Structure 1
């Protein structure tokens, strides 16, 4: 049995155990590098954001705990992927964007030019006015119209 374990409670919260003994409930998992290393550098914090456990990777956890943590992170770090930009209300910010995502059509507000952030290579992240993030894994692979719209905001 591994020393640290994460379990999901009946109410959907995470609970942290050490050697079978409850350490804290509820706990949250926070990614240090959510875009570049989504399964490395994970902090397990209590409800007051005090760090209880640092994981360089998922390896120290048993397979069951890894599965629980991965499922939790998929829910917490949900970011739709933009496949195509259908339209923008204006080429100034704030502007309303209508996009096609891997989860279907969506409309969101881009509050400022700084809401488009370039990651490594040709990856982008766009942040809605409410904080939700949308990923573009490769803006150069998008259709011509989508690239033109992005170019106007990234210039």
Structure 2
């Protein structure tokens, strides 16, 4: 199969092999082992545009919208994406060690409480026209703020000092 050929979600089946890896079988019966789903737009449209990539880095399948795919394929893809991606959603900023950088932030996320070091103001980026932010710590972990204006007043005050 050529790297330019894309199989749509209606023309393949996806299953886990004996080792737990994803296995894609196309309409011609060709099997691709260890397929990895990759989101085209992980923040803006996480359920739209998912590429299924083989071990050699070629796209072997494409899902326009995950909701259009039948079960259990949806669950297989979502589970694989969860194990591959790690982007905690920041829900509250409890405190910062200083208002100058680098500084340590103590935060509450959807995955629990944690601390991280913010290297500089430039590590806080606005995402598109939404009120979303992406905050990178010194280790490269990205923390997502879905809506900066939906945070509590204390968190907004802290965040305003860095924006």
In 2, the alpha carbon distance for the partners of 1:5 and 1:127 equals 37
Q: Is residue 6 of structure 1 aligned with residue 41 of structure 2?
A: no
Residue 93 of structure 1 deviates from its aligned partner by 2.9
Select which of 42, 53, 67 maps to 1:45: 53
Residue 111 of structure 1 deviates from its aligned partner by 2.6
Select which of 138, 148, 151 maps to 1:142: 151
Residue 59 of structure 1 deviates from its aligned partner by 5.7
- Which residue of structure 2 aligns with residue 86 of structure 1? 94
Between the two proteins, the alignment pairs up a number of residues equal to 153
- Which residue of structure 1 aligns with residue 105 of structure 2? 97
CA contact (8 A) 1:82 1:134 kept: yes
TM-score, length of structure 1 as denominator length: 0.84
Select which of 115, 132, 136 maps to 1:123: 132
In 1, the alpha carbon distance for the partners of 2:11 and 2:68 equals 8
In 2, the alpha carbon distance for the partners of 1:142 and 1:117 equals 16
Residue 22 of structure 1 deviates from its aligned partner by 4.9
Select which of 136, 141, 160 maps to 1:151: 160
Q: Which moved more, 1:65-74 or 1:5-14?
A: 5-14
In 2, the alpha carbon distance for the partners of 1:17 and 1:40 equals 21
In 1, the alpha carbon distance for the partners of 2:101 and 2:57 equals 34
CA contact (8 A) 1:4 1:61 kept: no
Residue 89 of structure 1 deviates from its aligned partner by 2.3
User: Cα 1:121–1:129, aligned 2, differ >3 Å: closer, same or farther?
Assistant: same
Q: Which moved more, 1:136-145 or 1:33-42?
A: 136-145
TM-score, length of structure 2 as denominator length: 0.81
Unaligned runs of 5+ in 1: none
In 2, the alpha carbon distance for the partners of 1:60 and 1:22 equals 23
Q: Is residue 21 of structure 1 aligned with residue 34 of structure 2?
A: no
In 2, the alpha carbon distance for the partners of 1:28 and 1:61 equals 16
Deviation per CA, 1:1-42: give whole Å up to 9, x if none.
x52122223433222111383522112111110111111111
